[in-house]
Structure 1
Amino acid sequence: MSDSAYTILIAEDDDSIRHALTDVLTASGYEVLALEEGLAAIHAVRERNFDLALLDVAMPGADGFQVLQVMSEERPGTPVIMLTARGEEEDRVQGLKLGADDYIVKPFSIRELLARIEAVLRRSPERPRQLREIRIPGATLDSANRLITFKDGRETSLTAREFEFLTYMATHPNRVITRDELLRRVWDVDPRLTDTRSVEMTVMRLRDKLGAASASPLETLRSQGYRWNSSFVS
Protein backbone atom coordinates (compact mmCIF):
# COMPACT_ATOMS: atom_id res chain seq x y z
CA MET A 1 0.00 0.00 0.00
CA SER A 2 1.18 3.51 -0.78
CA ASP A 3 2.07 6.09 1.85
CA SER A 4 -1.21 7.55 3.05
CA ALA A 5 0.49 10.93 3.53
CA TYR A 6 0.68 11.39 -0.24
CA THR A 7 -2.08 13.68 -1.45
CA ILE A 8 -3.12 13.55 -5.11
CA LEU A 9 -5.12 16.14 -7.03
CA ILE A 10 -7.38 14.71 -9.75
CA ALA A 11 -8.76 17.18 -12.29
CA GLU A 12 -10.97 15.21 -14.69
CA ASP A 13 -14.36 16.18 -16.15
CA ASP A 14 -15.46 12.65 -17.05
CA ASP A 15 -17.52 11.50 -14.06
CA SER A 16 -16.91 7.79 -14.53
CA ILE A 17 -13.14 8.18 -14.86
CA ARG A 18 -12.93 10.64 -11.96
CA HIS A 19 -14.93 8.39 -9.65
CA ALA A 20 -12.98 5.29 -10.66
CA LEU A 21 -9.64 7.03 -10.07
CA THR A 22 -10.82 8.35 -6.71
CA ASP A 23 -11.92 4.90 -5.58
CA VAL A 24 -8.75 3.14 -6.72
CA LEU A 25 -6.32 5.73 -5.35
CA THR A 26 -8.15 5.96 -2.02
CA ALA A 27 -8.10 2.17 -1.72
CA SER A 28 -4.37 2.27 -2.49
CA GLY A 29 -3.76 4.52 0.51
CA TYR A 30 -3.60 7.97 -1.09
CA GLU A 31 -5.50 11.05 0.01
CA VAL A 32 -7.45 12.39 -2.97
CA LEU A 33 -9.06 15.67 -3.96
CA ALA A 34 -11.11 15.08 -7.13
CA LEU A 35 -12.41 18.04 -9.16
CA GLU A 36 -14.29 18.16 -12.43
CA GLU A 37 -13.18 21.45 -13.95
CA GLY A 38 -9.99 23.40 -14.46
CA LEU A 39 -10.75 26.64 -12.63
CA ALA A 40 -11.54 24.72 -9.45
CA ALA A 41 -8.23 22.88 -9.85
CA ILE A 42 -6.36 26.17 -10.23
CA HIS A 43 -7.99 27.47 -7.06
CA ALA A 44 -7.03 24.29 -5.20
CA VAL A 45 -3.41 24.54 -6.39
CA ARG A 46 -3.19 28.10 -5.11
CA GLU A 47 -4.68 27.12 -1.75
CA ARG A 48 -2.67 24.03 -0.82
CA ASN A 49 0.15 21.63 -1.68
CA PHE A 50 -0.20 18.28 -3.41
CA ASP A 51 2.33 15.50 -3.78
CA LEU A 52 1.16 14.75 -7.33
CA ALA A 53 -1.50 15.94 -9.79
CA LEU A 54 -3.41 14.01 -12.47
CA LEU A 55 -4.64 16.59 -14.98
CA ASP A 56 -7.04 15.93 -17.83
CA VAL A 57 -6.11 17.97 -20.89
CA ALA A 58 -9.67 18.79 -22.01
CA MET A 59 -11.72 20.34 -19.18
CA PRO A 60 -14.28 23.15 -18.94
CA GLY A 61 -13.25 26.46 -17.40
CA ALA A 62 -9.52 25.91 -17.88
CA ASP A 63 -7.78 23.06 -19.65
CA GLY A 64 -5.09 20.84 -18.18
CA PHE A 65 -2.30 22.86 -19.76
CA GLN A 66 -3.53 26.01 -18.01
CA VAL A 67 -3.69 24.19 -14.68
CA LEU A 68 -0.19 22.82 -15.31
CA GLN A 69 1.10 26.32 -16.04
CA VAL A 70 -0.29 27.65 -12.76
CA MET A 71 1.10 24.66 -10.88
CA SER A 72 4.55 25.25 -12.37
CA GLU A 73 4.43 28.86 -11.17
CA GLU A 74 2.73 28.38 -7.80
CA ARG A 75 3.99 24.93 -6.75
CA PRO A 76 7.26 24.31 -8.58
CA GLY A 77 8.54 20.77 -8.24
CA THR A 78 5.11 19.14 -7.84
CA PRO A 79 4.94 16.03 -10.07
CA VAL A 80 2.24 16.05 -12.77
CA ILE A 81 0.84 13.31 -14.98
CA MET A 82 -1.34 14.46 -17.87
CA LEU A 83 -4.44 12.45 -18.87
CA THR A 84 -5.89 12.79 -22.35
CA ALA A 85 -8.06 11.09 -24.92
CA ARG A 86 -5.90 12.65 -27.57
CA GLY A 87 -2.63 11.00 -28.41
CA GLU A 88 -1.23 13.61 -30.77
CA GLU A 89 2.49 14.23 -30.44
CA GLU A 90 1.91 18.00 -30.27
CA ASP A 91 -0.11 17.60 -27.06
CA ARG A 92 2.52 15.39 -25.47
CA VAL A 93 5.29 17.81 -26.39
CA GLN A 94 3.37 20.81 -25.05
CA GLY A 95 2.69 19.08 -21.75
CA LEU A 96 6.29 18.01 -21.31
CA LYS A 97 7.56 21.49 -22.18
CA LEU A 98 5.30 22.97 -19.51
CA GLY A 99 6.80 20.62 -16.94
CA ALA A 100 4.65 17.48 -16.93
CA ASP A 101 6.45 14.40 -15.67
CA ASP A 102 4.45 11.84 -17.62
CA TYR A 103 1.62 11.52 -20.11
CA ILE A 104 -0.97 8.75 -20.39
CA VAL A 105 -3.58 8.35 -23.12
CA LYS A 106 -7.14 7.17 -22.47
CA PRO A 107 -8.30 4.48 -22.28
CA PHE A 108 -5.57 3.36 -19.91
CA SER A 109 -5.00 0.49 -17.52
CA ILE A 110 -5.46 1.36 -13.85
CA ARG A 111 -2.50 -0.88 -13.02
CA GLU A 112 -0.34 1.03 -15.49
CA LEU A 113 -1.42 4.38 -14.06
CA LEU A 114 -0.69 3.24 -10.49
CA ALA A 115 2.75 2.06 -11.60
CA ARG A 116 3.44 5.42 -13.23
CA ILE A 117 2.28 7.31 -10.13
CA GLU A 118 4.59 5.26 -7.93
CA ALA A 119 7.50 5.78 -10.34
CA VAL A 120 6.98 9.56 -10.46
CA LEU A 121 6.71 9.80 -6.67
CA ARG A 122 9.92 7.80 -6.29
CA ARG A 123 11.74 10.18 -8.62
CA SER A 124 10.34 13.45 -7.29
CA PRO A 125 12.32 13.73 -4.02
CA GLU A 126 15.56 13.44 -6.00
CA ARG A 127 14.64 16.24 -8.38
CA PRO A 128 16.10 19.68 -7.63
CA ARG A 129 13.36 21.97 -6.33
CA GLN A 130 12.88 25.36 -7.96
CA LEU A 131 12.28 27.05 -4.64
CA ARG A 132 11.00 30.42 -3.84
CA GLU A 133 12.67 32.11 -0.86
CA ILE A 134 12.16 30.19 2.37
CA ARG A 135 10.96 32.73 4.90
CA ILE A 136 12.23 32.43 8.47
CA PRO A 137 11.21 34.84 11.24
CA GLY A 138 14.04 37.22 12.05
CA ALA A 139 16.46 35.66 9.58
CA THR A 140 17.23 35.11 5.91
CA LEU A 141 18.37 31.90 4.25
CA ASP A 142 20.99 31.75 1.52
CA SER A 143 19.86 28.51 -0.13
CA ALA A 144 22.89 28.23 -2.39
CA ASN A 145 25.28 28.18 0.58
CA ARG A 146 22.86 26.77 3.21
CA LEU A 147 23.66 29.82 5.35
CA ILE A 148 21.22 31.52 7.75
CA THR A 149 21.85 35.18 8.62
CA PHE A 150 20.01 36.66 11.59
CA LYS A 151 18.95 40.28 11.91
CA ASP A 152 21.62 40.90 14.55
CA GLY A 153 24.32 39.82 12.07
CA ARG A 154 24.93 36.32 13.42
CA GLU A 155 25.32 33.53 10.89
CA THR A 156 24.91 29.77 11.10
CA SER A 157 25.34 27.11 8.46
CA LEU A 158 23.08 24.11 7.93
CA THR A 159 24.12 20.60 7.08
CA ALA A 160 22.76 19.17 3.85
CA ARG A 161 20.21 17.08 5.76
CA GLU A 162 19.08 20.01 7.93
CA PHE A 163 18.61 22.10 4.81
CA GLU A 164 16.69 19.33 3.01
CA PHE A 165 14.43 18.87 6.03
CA LEU A 166 13.78 22.63 6.36
CA THR A 167 13.13 22.86 2.62
CA TYR A 168 10.64 20.00 2.67
CA MET A 169 8.76 21.43 5.63
CA ALA A 170 8.65 24.97 4.24
CA THR A 171 7.44 23.79 0.82
CA HIS A 172 4.61 21.80 2.41
CA PRO A 173 3.26 24.44 4.83
CA ASN A 174 0.37 23.95 7.24
CA ARG A 175 0.22 20.19 6.69
CA VAL A 176 1.01 17.56 9.29
CA ILE A 177 4.00 15.61 7.99
CA THR A 178 4.65 12.28 9.62
CA ARG A 179 8.02 10.88 10.57
CA ASP A 180 7.50 8.06 8.06
CA GLU A 181 6.89 10.56 5.25
CA LEU A 182 10.05 12.46 6.17
CA LEU A 183 12.10 9.28 6.19
CA ARG A 184 10.77 8.37 2.74
CA ARG A 185 10.91 11.80 1.10
CA VAL A 186 13.93 13.45 2.77
CA TRP A 187 16.07 10.55 4.03
CA ASP A 188 15.08 8.27 1.11
CA VAL A 189 14.75 5.20 3.35
CA ASP A 190 11.89 2.81 4.01
CA PRO A 191 10.68 3.44 7.60
CA ARG A 192 9.56 -0.19 7.82
CA LEU A 193 13.14 -1.33 7.43
CA THR A 194 14.91 1.10 9.70
CA ASP A 195 14.92 2.09 13.35
CA THR A 196 16.44 5.53 13.59
CA ARG A 197 16.05 8.79 15.48
CA SER A 198 17.53 10.79 12.62
CA VAL A 199 14.41 12.93 12.23
CA GLU A 200 14.18 13.77 15.91
CA MET A 201 17.90 14.60 16.12
CA THR A 202 17.72 16.80 13.03
CA VAL A 203 14.76 18.72 14.46
CA MET A 204 16.60 19.19 17.77
CA ARG A 205 19.76 20.49 16.06
CA LEU A 206 17.78 22.77 13.79
CA ARG A 207 15.83 24.30 16.68
CA ASP A 208 19.11 24.89 18.51
CA LYS A 209 20.66 26.62 15.49
CA LEU A 210 17.62 28.76 14.75
CA GLY A 211 16.68 29.72 18.27
CA ALA A 212 13.16 29.92 19.68
CA ALA A 213 11.94 32.90 17.62
CA SER A 214 13.21 31.78 14.22
CA ALA A 215 12.16 28.16 14.81
CA SER A 216 8.61 29.17 15.81
CA PRO A 217 7.00 27.98 12.51
CA LEU A 218 8.33 24.44 13.10
CA GLU A 219 5.76 22.72 15.28
CA THR A 220 6.04 19.25 16.83
CA LEU A 221 2.66 17.53 17.12
CA ARG A 222 2.82 14.70 19.62
CA SER A 223 2.17 11.26 18.07
CA GLN A 224 1.45 12.90 14.71
CA GLY A 225 4.56 14.48 13.25
CA TYR A 226 5.65 18.00 12.35
CA ARG A 227 4.10 21.06 10.73
CA TRP A 228 5.50 24.27 9.24
CA ASN A 229 2.99 26.91 10.41
CA SER A 230 3.09 29.70 7.81
CA SER A 231 1.18 32.10 10.07
CA PHE A 232 4.46 32.75 11.90
CA VAL A 233 6.15 33.97 8.72
CA SER A 234 3.29 35.82 7.02
Structure 2
Amino acid sequence: MAVVDDDPRVLESLENLFESVGYSVATFSSGQSLLTSGLLSINCLITDIGMPGMDGFELLDIVKKARPELPVFLLTGRHEIADQLRATGKDISGFFMKPCGGQDLLAAIDLTLSDKMEGGHDQ
Protein backbone atom coordinates (compact mmCIF):
# COMPACT_ATOMS: atom_id res chain seq x y z
CA MET A 1 0.00 0.00 0.00
CA ALA A 2 1.24 3.51 -0.79
CA VAL A 3 0.17 6.76 0.86
CA VAL A 4 0.97 10.10 -0.79
CA ASP A 5 0.51 13.37 1.10
CA ASP A 6 2.59 16.52 1.43
CA ASP A 7 1.72 16.80 5.15
CA PRO A 8 4.18 14.69 7.19
CA ARG A 9 1.71 14.44 10.10
CA VAL A 10 -0.92 12.89 7.84
CA LEU A 11 1.64 10.46 6.41
CA GLU A 12 2.71 9.38 9.88
CA SER A 13 -0.85 9.06 11.13
CA LEU A 14 -2.00 6.96 8.16
CA GLU A 15 1.15 4.84 8.24
CA ASN A 16 0.55 4.08 11.93
CA LEU A 17 -3.12 3.33 11.30
CA PHE A 18 -2.51 0.91 8.43
CA GLU A 19 0.47 -0.80 10.06
CA SER A 20 -1.54 -1.29 13.26
CA VAL A 21 -3.87 -3.63 11.37
CA GLY A 22 -1.12 -5.43 9.48
CA TYR A 23 -0.77 -3.56 6.19
CA SER A 24 2.68 -2.95 4.74
CA VAL A 25 2.85 0.79 3.99
CA ALA A 26 5.18 2.98 1.95
CA THR A 27 4.76 6.74 2.36
CA PHE A 28 5.64 9.46 -0.13
CA SER A 29 5.59 13.26 0.20
CA SER A 30 4.78 13.76 -3.49
CA GLY A 31 3.31 11.99 -6.48
CA GLN A 32 6.64 12.27 -8.26
CA SER A 33 8.46 10.43 -5.46
CA LEU A 34 5.93 7.57 -5.70
CA LEU A 35 6.33 7.36 -9.48
CA THR A 36 10.13 7.39 -9.14
CA SER A 37 9.98 4.46 -6.72
CA GLY A 38 7.62 2.50 -8.99
CA LEU A 39 4.07 1.22 -8.90
CA LEU A 40 4.55 -2.52 -9.33
CA SER A 41 4.88 -3.43 -5.66
CA ILE A 42 1.77 -1.64 -4.37
CA ASN A 43 -1.73 -3.09 -4.09
CA CYS A 44 -3.54 0.14 -3.16
CA LEU A 45 -2.93 3.90 -3.37
CA ILE A 46 -4.22 6.54 -0.98
CA THR A 47 -3.40 10.06 -2.16
CA ASP A 48 -4.12 13.60 -1.12
CA ILE A 49 -5.64 15.79 -3.83
CA GLY A 50 -4.19 19.18 -2.88
CA MET A 51 -0.42 18.97 -3.17
CA PRO A 52 2.13 21.31 -4.73
CA GLY A 53 3.47 20.22 -8.09
CA MET A 54 1.56 17.15 -9.19
CA ASP A 55 -1.87 17.08 -7.52
CA GLY A 56 -3.79 13.94 -6.65
CA PHE A 57 -5.92 14.03 -9.80
CA GLU A 58 -2.83 14.20 -12.01
CA LEU A 59 -1.29 11.32 -10.06
CA LEU A 60 -4.53 9.35 -10.41
CA ASP A 61 -4.52 9.78 -14.20
CA ILE A 62 -0.89 8.62 -14.51
CA VAL A 63 -1.38 5.66 -12.16
CA LYS A 64 -4.55 4.49 -13.90
CA LYS A 65 -2.78 4.51 -17.29
CA ALA A 66 0.00 2.33 -15.88
CA ARG A 67 -2.09 0.15 -13.54
CA PRO A 68 -5.81 0.46 -14.38
CA GLU A 69 -6.76 -2.23 -11.85
CA LEU A 70 -5.07 -0.53 -8.88
CA PRO A 71 -7.52 0.69 -6.21
CA VAL A 72 -7.07 4.42 -5.58
CA PHE A 73 -8.57 6.41 -2.70
CA LEU A 74 -8.57 10.21 -2.80
CA LEU A 75 -8.27 12.38 0.32
CA THR A 76 -8.83 16.11 0.50
CA GLY A 77 -8.54 18.74 3.18
CA ARG A 78 -10.08 21.32 0.88
CA HIS A 79 -13.80 21.21 1.39
CA GLU A 80 -14.60 22.34 -2.11
CA ILE A 81 -17.51 21.04 -4.14
CA ALA A 82 -15.27 21.29 -7.22
CA ASP A 83 -13.05 18.47 -5.91
CA GLN A 84 -16.05 16.23 -5.32
CA LEU A 85 -17.42 16.98 -8.77
CA ARG A 86 -14.04 16.41 -10.38
CA ALA A 87 -13.80 13.02 -8.62
CA THR A 88 -17.20 11.98 -9.97
CA GLY A 89 -16.79 9.70 -12.93
CA LYS A 90 -13.13 8.99 -12.14
CA ASP A 91 -12.08 5.39 -11.59
CA ILE A 92 -11.57 5.69 -7.84
CA SER A 93 -12.34 3.33 -5.00
CA GLY A 94 -13.22 6.04 -2.49
CA PHE A 95 -13.25 9.77 -1.72
CA PHE A 96 -12.67 11.00 1.83
CA MET A 97 -12.65 14.47 3.37
CA LYS A 98 -9.94 15.21 5.96
CA PRO A 99 -10.02 14.71 8.77
CA CYS A 100 -11.54 11.39 7.86
CA GLY A 101 -12.46 8.67 10.26
CA GLY A 102 -9.66 6.13 10.26
CA GLN A 103 -12.07 3.25 10.76
CA ASP A 104 -14.19 4.35 7.78
CA LEU A 105 -11.12 4.55 5.56
CA LEU A 106 -9.86 1.18 6.81
CA ALA A 107 -13.24 -0.45 6.21
CA ALA A 108 -13.37 0.88 2.64
CA ILE A 109 -9.84 -0.33 1.92
CA ASP A 110 -10.46 -3.75 3.51
CA LEU A 111 -13.62 -4.17 1.45
CA THR A 112 -11.95 -3.11 -1.79
CA LEU A 113 -8.90 -5.33 -1.28
CA SER A 114 -10.96 -8.36 -0.20
CA ASP A 115 -13.21 -7.98 -3.28
CA LYS A 116 -10.11 -7.75 -5.44
CA MET A 117 -8.68 -10.92 -3.88
CA GLU A 118 -11.92 -12.86 -4.45
CA GLY A 119 -12.07 -11.76 -8.08
CA GLY A 120 -8.33 -12.15 -8.56
CA HIS A 121 -8.55 -14.91 -11.16
CA ASP A 122 -9.34 -12.55 -14.01
CA GLN A 123 -7.06 -9.63 -13.07
TM-score normalised by L of structure 1: 0.48
Q: Distance in 1 between matches of 2:112 and 2:82?
A: 22
- 1:105 aligned partner: 97
2:27 maps to 1:27: no
Q: 1:75 to 1:109 in 2, by over 3 A?
A: same
Q: SS in structure 2 opposite 1:26?
A: helix
Count of paired positions: 123
8 Å CA contact 2:2–2:45 kept in 1: the answer is yes
Partner of 1:84: 76
Amino acid at match of 2:16: D
Match of 2:32 among 25, 39, 54: 39
| Counterparts of residues 79-228 of structure 1 (less than 5 Å) | 79-125=71-117, 164=121
Q: Does 1:14 align with 2:14?
A: no
Aligned 8 A contact 1:53 1:81 in 2:
yes
Q: Which residue of 2 aligns with 1:59?
A: 51
For residues 50-73 of structure 1, give each alpha carbon's deviation from its aligned partner in whole angstroms, at most 9, with x where no partner exists. 211101001122111111001110
Partner letter of residue 50 of structure 1?
I
Given the alignment of the two structures, is residue 68 of structure 1 paired with residue 57 of structure 2, yes or no?
no
Which structure has the greater CA radius of gyration?
1
The CA distance in 2 between the partners of 1:87 and 1:47, in whole Å, is: 29
Contact kept, 8 Å, 1:84 with 1:104, in 2: the verdict is: yes
Q: Is the 8 A contact 2:3 2:11 kept in 1?
A: yes
List gaps (5 residues or longer) in structure 2: none
Is the alpha carbon distance of 1:47 and 1:109 closer, same or farther for their aligned partners in structure 2, counting shifts above 3 Å?
closer
Do 1:38 and 1:60's aligned partners in 2 also have CA atoms closer than 8 Å? no
Structure 1 unaligned segments of length 5 or more: list them.
1-7, 130-163, 169-234
SS at match of 2:91: coil
Q: Give every structure 1 segment of 4 or more consecutive aligned residues whose post-TM-superposition deviation is greater than 6 Å.
A: none
TM-score where L is the length of structure 2: 0.87
Distance 2:96 2:43 in 1: 18
Please provide the CA RMSD for this pair.
2.1
Greater relative contact order (Cα 8 A, min sep 6): structure 1 or 2?
A: 2
| CA distance, structure 1, for counterparts of residue 48 and residue 15 of structure 2 | 14
Whole-Å Cα distance in 1 between the matches of residues 10 and 108 of structure 2? 17
Counterpart-to-counterpart distance in 2, 1:76 and 1:89 = 26
C-alpha contact (below 8 Å) 2:50/2:78 kept by paired residues: no
